[in-house]
């Protein structure tokens, strides 16, 4: 089975690409050379078994999480479960909603456990786990539509995360993405304590950006597209027609209200919601810690 997974260093010589089945990871570690090498080796070693671990309890991971229900056993699976369980009472959610973030987190944890790194990121298809050593910081840039990296337009803003901020996970969800969404957001990006938490919250908030019954929105049962989808017969968004600004505002209002509710219990730190080019940021941009500042230098451009 191990031969299946691919591990390679990208042409820049600094980033590692890990791929196995549907998992695609790009990671980078910063620190002393020997520490980077050690981190890479550990990441690769940890990675090659992750998919098998997950698949061994895949049916359970595709089932709705209910309070008091069966918990999974695997380390990654437990991370997934823990990330989605806060939503289980009020929402339909399965551990799969946090799979990408949980995998990213797991790989990052393996690296930082053995290597002394100043910074590191593990980007699992857009869901990102961060390591920021004390005094270090990351500048992150945000683009608009995840499956449509446009040019100048793609950069909505950037922000600086430093080691004092409680953010180590970033995730994005939207109906255009690789996984299905019940909502109409083009992209909902979440900053949270961990990547798995961000991943789960992105799913919930993206689902909440919606205009139920609106004629311009097309749906199909998830099962029709992908027979083994964890969403089963739930209707997933397949197209969103042009919306008036009032409608965009209404849908974003639902989503941001949902996001607001996740801030107090610490489920997320911030969210950026994008619907047809209109962006709503939660908490509002005045928040000193999470300000989206377009003045910040970002490598999307630089």
Partner 1 sequence: MPDHDAIRCDACPVLCYIKPGRTGACDRYGNQDGQLVRLDPHVVLDRAVSRGDSVVPFLERNRDWDGNIVSGPATFVTAIGAGTTYPDYKPAPFIISSEVAGVDMVTVVTEGIFSYCGVKVKIDTDRHLGLERNLVRAKGEPVGHVTTSEYGSQMLSLGGVRHLTGGTRDEGNATCETLLNLCNGKAAELTIDEGADVVVQAGKPPVVNGVVEERMRVGCGSATIGMFAKQWHEKIDDVVVVDDHITGVLSEHQAGKMLGIPETGIKMKGRRSTPGRYFRVAEPGTAWGGTKITDPLSILAPFNPKIAWPGLRLLMVSTTGEHHAYYELDDALRPLEKDLPDSLRLSVQRIKENCEPALSTVLFMGGAGGSLRAGVTANPVKLTRSVRDSLTRVTCGGAPVYVWPGGGITLMVDVSRMPENAFGYVPTPALVAPIEFTLKLDDYSALGGYVDRVRPLSSLLNDEGRRHVSARAENPWPFEDKSRRSQS
69 counts as binding ligand SF4 under rule CB under 6 A = no
135 vs 227, which CB is nearer to ligand SF4? 227
Crossing angle of helices 75-84 and 33-56, rounded to 10°: 80
Instruction: Confirm or reject binding of residue 152 to partner 1 (CB under 8 A).
Output: yes
Interface size with ligand SF4, residues (CB under 6 A): 2
For residues 9 and 55, which CB has a smaller minimum distance to ligand SF4 in the complex?
55
The binding track of 18-57 with respect to ligand SF4, each residue x by CB under 6 A or -, is ---xx-----------------------------------
What does 276 interact with, of ligand SF4, partner 1, none (CB < 5 to 8 A by kind)?
partner 1
CB of 3 to ligand SF4, least distance (A): 14
> Looking at the chain, how many residues does it have?
302
Does residue number 59 form part of the binding site for ligand SF4 (CB under 6 A)?
A: no
Q: Does 138 bind partner 1 (CB under 8 A)?
A: yes
Q: Give me the residues that bind partner 1 (CB under 8 A), please.
A: 1, 4, 10-12, 14-15, 17, 20-24, 26, 28, 30, 51-52, 55-56, 58, 119, 121, 123, 125-126, 128, 130, 138-143, 146-155, 170, 172, 177-178, 187, 189, 224-228, 241-242, 244, 276-278, 297-302
């Amino acid at each position: 089975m191990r031969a299946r997974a691919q591990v390679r260093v990208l042409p820049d010589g600094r980033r590692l690409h890990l791929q196995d089945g549907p998992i695609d990871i790009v990671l980078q570690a910063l620190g002393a050379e020997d520490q980077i090498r050690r981190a890479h080796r550990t990441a690769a070693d940890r990675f090659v078994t992750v998919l098998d671990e997950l698949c061994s309890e895949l049916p359970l991971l595709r089932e709705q999480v209910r309070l008091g229900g069966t918990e999974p056993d695997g380390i990654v699976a437990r991370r997934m479960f823990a990330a989605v369980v806060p939503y289980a009472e009020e929402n339909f959610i399965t551990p799969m909603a946090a799979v990408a973030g949980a995998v990213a987190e797991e790989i990052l944890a393996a690296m930082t456990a053995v290597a002394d790194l100043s910074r590191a990121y593990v980007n699992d298809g857009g869901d990102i786990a961060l390591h920021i050593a004390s005094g270090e910081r990351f500048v992150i840039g945000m683009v608009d539509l995840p499956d449509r990296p446009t040019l100048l337009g793609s950069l909505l803003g950037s922000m600086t995360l430093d080691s004092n901020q409680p953010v180590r996970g970033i995730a994005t969800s939207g109906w255009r993405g690789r996984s299905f969404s019940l909502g109409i957001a083009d992209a909902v990006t979440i900053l949270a304590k961990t990547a798995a938490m961000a991943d789960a919250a992105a799913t919930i908030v993206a689902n909440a950006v919606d205009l139920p019954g609106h004629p311009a929105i097309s749906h199909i049962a998830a099962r029709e597209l992908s027979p083994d989808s964890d969403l089963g017969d739930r209707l997933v968004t397949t197209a969103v027609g042009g919306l008036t600004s009032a409608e965009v505002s209404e849908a974003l209002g639902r989503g941001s209200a949902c996001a607001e509710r996740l801030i107090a219990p610490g489920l997320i730190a911030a969210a950026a919601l994008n619907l047809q080019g209109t962006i709503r940021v939660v908490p509002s941009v005045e928040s000193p810690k999470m300000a989206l500042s377009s003045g910040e230098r970002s490598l999307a451009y630089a």
